[in-house]
Homo-oligomer: A and B are copies of this chain.
Amino acid sequence: MTDMLYVLDLLGTIAFAASGALTGVRKQMDLLGVIMLGIVTATGGGVLRDVLMNDLPPFCFKNELYLYLAVGTSLLVFITPRRFEQQRNLLLMLDALGLGTFAVIGTMKALTYHLGFMGAIIMGVMTATCGGLVRDVLCNDIPLILQREIYASACIVGCTALYVMNLYSFPQAASLTVSAAIVIAIRCIAILRGWHLPRKFLQN
């Protein structure tokens, strides 16, 4: 993994942990609940990916820096939640950054393990979104990614781009950068413009 990707991965971990911990504070969970929700949101997607691909123990138990970052961020959020709430735009940007990074890492790993097209896309989307999905399930909410906006769909576009570039043997560093940038760009534009996917209403 390139150094830049590793740095982005750690930044994404912090952003996702902050999102989980903030949700915990809003739901009036206790200190430990907030930390657990931070850890699960930050690492849940990657852990599920590693379980399905049998690369165990999962990544964050091999390099515990991910876990320490998640715990540290959650503690900070618990102590000063208002400071994080006020930085909503910064958090949204970091979250988009994490989304793109996690997605391309998941797809890259699927390609290394010789999964097919569906496997490559699903592992990418799963790595990027399943932490947040478990966060919502634990908080007794319907997962946001099933209902809302351009989030998982941004991952699908970027992961497909990575799959195609890999098929045509583009240099890996360039492919990773381009496809992560695609996810981040789509996600940011979608936030700014309020884009969302179509829904179906049975009463129509």
Residues of A within 8 A of B (CB): 24-34, 36-37, 39, 47, 51-54, 56-58, 61, 64, 67-68, 71, 78, 81-82, 85, 113, 115-119, 122, 133, 137-143, 145-148, 152-153, 156, 196-202
**Distance of A38 from chain B, by nearest CB (Å):** 11
**Which of B31, B52, B82 touches A197 (beta carbons < 8 Å)?**
B31
Select one of B61, B118, B196, B197 contacting A116, CB under 8 A: B61
Cβ B200 vs Cβ A25 within 8 A? yes
A202 and B115 in contact, given A30-B147, A30-B196, A147-B33 (Cβ under 8 angstroms): no
Stoichiometry (number of copies): 3
Known: A64-B117, A115-B57, A140-B140. A200 touches B81 (CB 8 A): yes
- The one of B37, B53, B85 that contacts A56, using a Cβ cutoff of 8 Å: B53
A36-B152, A138-B137, A140-B142 given; A29·B198 CB < 8 A: no
Complex CA gap A55/B62 in Å reads 16
Question: Does the CB pair A201–B28 fall under 8 Å?
Answer: yes
The CA-CA distance from A196 to B28 in the complex, in Å, is 13
Minimal Cβ-Cβ distance residue in B for A151: B32
A29: chain B residues within 8 A (beta carbon): 146-147, 199
Q: Are B147 and A138 in contact (CB under 8 A)?
A: no
Interchain CA distance A199-B31 in the complex, whole Å: 6
Q: How far is the CB of A66 from chain B (nearest CB, A)?
A: 9
